[in-house]
Amino acid sequence: MIRSFYGISENPFSSRNIQLLPHQEEIYDTLKVHCQQGGLSMVLGIPGTGKTVIKEFLKESCSKQQVVVTVARTLHTYTNTIKILCEAFNIDFEGTHFRCEKRLIEEAVNLNRLGKTLITIIDDAHLMEMTTLRRLRLMFEDFPKNHNIILIGQPSLLSNLALTVNQDIKTRVTYSAITRRLNPDAMQAFILSELDRIRLGHNTFSEAALELIIRSCDGVLRKTRNLCLSSMLEAVRNSQKTIDIDIVNRVLIQPHWRKECDITDF
């Protein structure tokens, strides 16, 4: 609908083919180095600040000498998590978790003999039980030393690791980074770069509309992308090429954009 209305060939503000922003690129470059040396890395941040973008870049940019596996279903028990890892490695996951652990270790050693570097990404690691994470850490001790584990999650994970009982995990962290909110200038640069990518003029959003979007999204990338896309859909619905402040306000009155204090009367 948007592509037809604006006469463009690509979807605007798509979650695919996103380019790294400067602060994300710095984290990505550092992770690439740690992936070659091995260790335990953490990328933390509130939802929508770009952690998934970094993860996808790591997966897409890996060389033929790198094997990247991802665990995203972190609410499972340890046994099921091990089986998810086996599935990611394309190996048999039947039997007890002890047998699965043995197969995983053997596969990791075989990959190392072939000259491959292994990278394991655990997404939403803050949702994982500490006992499960500890048992995984113990299993990973038998992996080749150049194996790198990347924990991606929210800042609450750091708070959990700060507990004395979890020092055995925290002391093994070799690198950690926080994906922070963007400042207004960076937010504007992001929106304009997205317009450039799909070959739309910067005047697609009026100056007032742009300022309102930046102010409303509070530096969160995902919010920015969703608000811009919703505003474009609203503009299409009203057959209006230029997105002005009235269009953005029509989106912002939707309940999920409003603060709790604004909807208590409903």
pLDDT band at 37 (very low <50, low <70, confident <90, very high): confident
Q: For the chain, where are the alpha helices, taking DSSP H only?
A: 2-6, 22-37, 51-60, 78-88, 97-113, 130-140, 156-161, 167-170, 184-197, 207-217, 221-237, 245-252
Q: How many residues does the chain have?
A: 266
pLDDT band at 260 (very low <50, low <70, confident <90, very high): low
CATH superfamily to which 22-178 belongs: P-loop containing nucleotide triphosphate hydrolases (3.40.50.300)
pLDDT score of 64: 83
Does CATH place domain 182-254 in 1.10.8.60?
yes
Overall average pLDDT of the 172-181 stretch: 94
pLDDT score of 96: 83
Instruction: Say if residues 41 and 175 touch (Cβ distance below 8 Å).
Output: yes
pLDDT > 80? residue 201: yes
pLDDT score of 119: 92
Instruction: Say if residues 34 and 176 touch (Cβ distance below 8 Å).
Output: no
| Identity of the amino acid at 105 | I
Domain boundaries, the chain: 22-178, 182-254
pLDDT score of 10: 87
| pTM confidence score | 0.88
pLDDT band at 170 (very low <50, low <70, confident <90, very high): very high
Overall average pLDDT of the 158-182 stretch: 93
Overall average pLDDT of the 190-204 stretch: 92
Overall average pLDDT of the 51-55 stretch: 91
pLDDT score of 35: 85
- Looking at every residue in the chain, the average pLDDT score rounds to 90
